[in-house]
Structure 1
Amino acid sequence: MCWRCWERRAADRLDPEPRVAVISAYEPEWVALKAAVGDARSHHVNGVEIVTGTLAGRKVVLFLIGISMVNAAMTSQLVLDRFDVSAIVVSGIAGGVDPALRVADVVVAGRWGQYLEAVFAREADGRFQPPPWIKTSYPNHGMIFPMDVGVRSARGGAEKRFWFEADAGMLAAAGKIGAVDLKRCAADDACLSHAPRLVVGGNGVSGQAFVDNAAFRQYVSATLQAQVLDMESAAVAMVAYANGVPFIAFRSLSDLAGGGEGANELRTFFRLASDNSAAVVQRFLTLWTPPR
């Protein structure tokens, strides 16, 4: 064992308490959560504000990972290296790709995949064809062929996989939340005609692109059987898997990823969606018992 390494890691720890990491990507997503943290204390590492305290009766470490897959992976690992994180809970907004879902619904996907870990194939004779030595995971959308991502973990070295599962115990607790009073109206009195609902299970996908395209939305729904699409959750799920930390993500729909009748609705409903996700996360924390 590298004792000097252990001593250095121990010295880098900013807080000795086991805590649940509650994380968001987009600053408006964490406004309600940050305001609800009791005994809050701020830490700063590499320009990232990290808040410790209590939320819904749980000891938490709250922070923004930043938008994008790279930011999500980098910042999640940064916090895991400096805090004793017993589990990870993601709270935020997403684009809805399942036609059965509507704006402000909250989705708790059972697994997450990286749909833009992909081959952009060349076209020959009117067909897109990846190199024969590359294994692809799913049928293509034009030149885009999704494929598995490589990951290393303590489970046994390197492997390739497409899906990263939410923790079974956390998902079961989410399934017990039941009816939640979710908001229908934004701050400027833009109101939805429907009552938002909570949906537990199914697939979520993440990639480096903001999607506002009806054809691609349909492809993601039909091919990957996805309910939601965002730019961070699958990266966090991969970091959680690599570190052996339980993970779950709550995503409320701010828009329909190009499936709406008019212009993209994110700017109208992002605050409403963020508040709905935060409300469900806090309810979840009261029902679920952390592993330690």
Structure 2
Amino acid sequence: MLKQLCCLALLAGSISTASGAEMLDDTPRTAVMSAFAPEWVALQAAMSDREDFSVNGVTFATGTIEGKPVVLFLTGVSMVNAAMNSQLLLDHFAVKNIVFSGIAGGVNPDRHIGDVIVPTQWGQYLDMILARETAPGEFTPPSFLPHSLPNYGMMFPQDVTVTREGSEPENKFWFAVDPDLLKVAEGVAESISLKDCTPDNACLTTAPKVYVGGNGVSGSAFVDNAEFRSYAFDTFDAQVLDMESAAVAHVAYANNVPFIAFRSLSDLAGGGEGENEMGTFMGLASDNSAAVVEAFIAALPE
């Protein structure tokens, strides 16, 4: 049954602010989000007792996976969509944990398409200064803007400012994954098997695995460039890069909600030969991420 929030209720202010938002479901749940449709098809298939709610055009599906209460939804692609709809989730549902399941570009040259990566922290690496060229090939950012990470040409990464209840605004680059959730992921990684062929029999040359650890970075750009991929690996020790996870980590941190992200490699962000691999392996990567997340949910304590 699809429950629509009435426009008149919106105008009346029943969900006008986070502090006064209408709770649509008070069961404590693990929120499982993905960026776009192929990433959550398998997760929907694993759900029982489904009931849908619609808020601002976003469908939130409640139910159970492996006997655990969950709420599934699509953030939409991009940092802004991810942040906006993550906050929408928290305003209307009782959320115990936030889990992201999706695909990503591989950055670490020792990882392969189909692998599932579970980073320990996430950074917004494309929040940056575009500096002026002060000499041929030399770029200098304004003196009043602090920066500590190596630049890529005119691009100088910056921290982001975060506010949350009971704390002064702080500048951060890394948003840590919840350590307890990470331990559960480590246990799951030891036993799960992953797909290595698509339905069209496009098969991987290396059997995919789950890797827990390292860093992930997110920004509003699809990366298909070998040189920039190398910069991201050398500068941030990034295992993966995507367009949503760090934004969700930011929102989770601001709301004091535990967060973790599972990202399966659909491509090598420009590091492979020929055309970008996402068109071939997007479905396989989505299924691998969903399989690990389903096992992760089953392993969560009651």
Contact kept in structure 2, 1:154 and 1:244, CA below 8 Å: no
Q: TM-score, normalization: structure 1?
A: 0.95
1:38-69 deviations in whole A, cap 9, x for unaligned?
00011111110110000122100100000000
Q: TM-score, normalization: structure 2?
A: 0.92
Matches within 5 A, 1:1-292: 12-126=22-136, 127-177=138-188, 178-289=190-301
SS in 1 for 2:81: helix
1:155 deviates by 4.7
1:114-139 deviations in whole A, cap 9, x for unaligned?
00110011101121110011111310
Q: 1:135 to 1:71 in 2, by over 3 A?
A: same
Question: Does 212-221 or 146-155 show the bigger shift?
Answer: 146-155
Which letter maps to 1:182? Answer: L
List gaps (5 residues or longer) in structure 1.
none
SS in 2 for 1:142: coil
Between the aligned partners of 1:132 and 1:47, the Cα distance in structure 2 is 44
1:11 deviates by 6.4
1:288 deviates by 2.1
Q: 1:7 to 1:88 in 2, by over 3 A?
A: closer
Between the aligned partners of 1:229 and 1:55, the Cα distance in structure 2 is 28
Between the aligned partners of 1:47 and 1:64, the Cα distance in structure 2 is 11
Contact kept in structure 1, 2:21 and 2:91, CA below 8 Å: no
1:5 deviates by 9.4
1:154 deviates by 2.0
1:287 deviates by 1.5
List gaps (5 residues or longer) in structure 2.
1-13
Which letter maps to 1:114? Answer: Q
1:6 deviates by 12
Contact kept in structure 1, 2:52 and 2:61, CA below 8 Å: yes
SS in 1 for 2:169: strand
Question: Does 175-184 or 267-276 show the bigger shift?
Answer: 175-184
Two-structure CA RMSD over aligned residues (Å): 1.7
Aligned residues: 287
% identical aligned pairs: 57
